Structure 1
Amino acid sequence: MRTAISIAVITALATLAGCAVIVVPDDGNGGGVHYSSAFGSSAVQGNGQQTTERRDAAASDGIDINGPMQVEVRVGEAASLQVEGDSNLLPMLRTDATGGTLRIWIDGSIRSANPLRVIYTTPQLRQVNANGSGRLSVSGLNGAPFNLSQNGSRQVQLSGNVSRFDVRVNGSGAVDAAGLQSGSTVASVNGSGRLNLGRLSGDTLNLEVRGSGGASATGNVRGMNVRVYGSGSADLAGLSGQSAELATYGSGSISAGVSQSLVADTTGSGHVTVYGNPSQRSISGKHVSVMQ
C-alpha cells in the first residue's frame, strides 16, 4: 500500500534522536514521500521488499512516537511488538521500551513509497505523545486515565473507555475519539486541528480552542467550562451539562446543552447558542441565544 501524503511546503519536523528531518513530496510519479536529513545526508531508498519483524518488548503504559509512520496499539493483552516495512529500512525504525515508555523513532533519513508500520500490544496504556505525520490508532482502552498529546498532522483514532481523558491537539492533525467513553475531560485544540471527544459521562469538561480548529462531544456532564479564541468552534449541542461557563473571543462559536445554570459571554462577532432552559442565567455580549 502506497502512502498518500501531500505537503504544500517543506515542513521541518521535530528532532528525532538527534537528527532533524525534513519531509518533501517525491518528485516522481510514484506517490511516495522523501524523508531527507536537514543536514544534507543522503536518504536511504527503500528496496520495496516488504517484511515483518517481531521484536522483544516489555509491557509499557506510555508511548512516545516521533516521525512519519503508522502505529496501531491494542490494549488489554500480553505485550508484543511487530514492525513492518521495506526490509532495508526496518533497522532504521528504532524501538526502545526501557523505563516504562515505548519510544519509537526513525534513526536517519529514508525514502520509500511504503509506510513503516508498528503494531504494539500492551495490557495497560495511560499516556501517548505523538509528533509528526502518519496515523495512530488505539483500541481497547480499559478504564484507566488516559493522556494524549498530539503535535503535527497525524490522524488519530481512539476507542474503549477511560476514567479521565486529558488531550492536547497542536497543529493540523485530527483526533477522532467517537468510539471512546470518557469521564471528566480536559481538552485543548491549538491551530487548525480537529477533535472529536466522543461520549462523556464525567463530572466536568474543560475545553479550550485557539485558532481555526474545532472540537465536538456528546453525552452528559455536571459542569462545563468552554472557551474559544479566534475563529474556531465547539460543537457541544449533543452534550448536556447542569451548569456551564461559555465564552467566545473573536469570530468563533459554541453550541451546548445546559439545564440549570448558565454564564455566557461573547467578545467580538462570535456566537454562543444554548439548548435548554437554565433557570439561572448571566449573559453578556450581543450574540448569545438560548433555544428552549
Structure 2
Amino acid sequence: MVGARPARRVPRLGRLVLHHRRDLHHRRRRARRRAGADQVSPPTRVVTRVPKAKSPFFDLEGRRALVIGAEHPHGAAIARAYAEAGADVALAALTADEAVVRARAVQREVEALGRKGSTYVMDVMLGKNVEVTMRQIAKEMGGLDIVASCPDLFLAKPMARTSDTELARVMQANFNSQYFIVRHAAEEFRRQQQPGRIVLTTSVLGTRGLPNTTAYAAASGAVVNLVRSAAIEVAPDRIQVNGIALGWMDWMQDRLSPEDDEAQRAVRFTALRRQGRADEVGPLAVYLSSERATRYITGQIFPVDGGLLLHL
C-alpha cells in the first residue's frame, strides 16, 4: 500500500536479555576497576608448619637426662636424640681436654634444639668422683630422670701381650665406671623418690668373643651381666636398667687390622653388609628412656649390630 508506514521490527526477547547481561557484566567490571580491584591476584597459598606430634613412646618432654661419655660418637648421638625428643641434657666428659671440647660442641647442638644443655667433667674411674659429680649435676638440673653411660675404650691384643696395666684400664673404663654410674644413679633416683631410667652401652663382643679382644670382650660381658643383675636389684624402687650392645660401627674402622682374618670376617658377616652409624643408636636410647615405652622392659640387652650376632 502506497504511503503505508513500514512495520516495526520487534527484537527477540532473548537477544534483549543477552545484551542486558553483557552490559551489566561490563558495568560491574568498570566499577571494580575504579575501586582498584580489577586485577585480583590468585589467592596466595599459605603454608603453615605444624609441629610434628611426638609419639608417646619417643617423647621425653620435660625430662632431665645425663649422658656420660658424650665425647664419643654414640654418646653424642644419644644426647642429640634426647634433646630432639624434648629432654634437657647434661653432658659429662672425661678429664681430657679434647673430650671436653667435643662435649661442649654437642652441648651447643642441644641448645640449638631449644633445650637446656650443660657440660661437666667426670672422672668415672673412681666411684667417689662419680657420686659427687652426679649429685652436683642433679642439684643444678633440679633432679634427674635418665642416665645414659657410653664408655668406649677398645683394646685388641692377644692375652699373652696384654699387660696388667692395660687389662686394669680396660676393665675400669668399660665396666667399673658403669658399675659406679648405675650405683649412684640409683641412689639419686631413690633420693628423689621417683622412677628412673638407666641405659648402658657395651659391645656385642660381650656375648660373642673374638680372638685378640679377650680383655675388651670380658669387660663387655661384665656389663651385660651388670644390666641383668642391677635391674633385679633396683626394680622395687621403680628403676629400670637396659643396655645397648653395639656391633661394628663406622667410627671403629681403625680398630680392625687388615691382617686379622677373624676381625675382618666380623665385618663381612654383618647381615646388612655395612657398618652402623651413630645416629642409629639414639632412637633406641630414647625408646628405652621413655617412661611409657619401658614400663615392662628391664634387664635387657638390645643389639644394634646389623645382624652381626647372627653369624658370630
TM-score range for the pair, normalised by the shorter chain length: under 0.3
TM-score (norm 1): 0.22
Q: Rg: which structure is higher?
A: 2
Of Structure 1 and Structure 2, the greater strand share is in 1
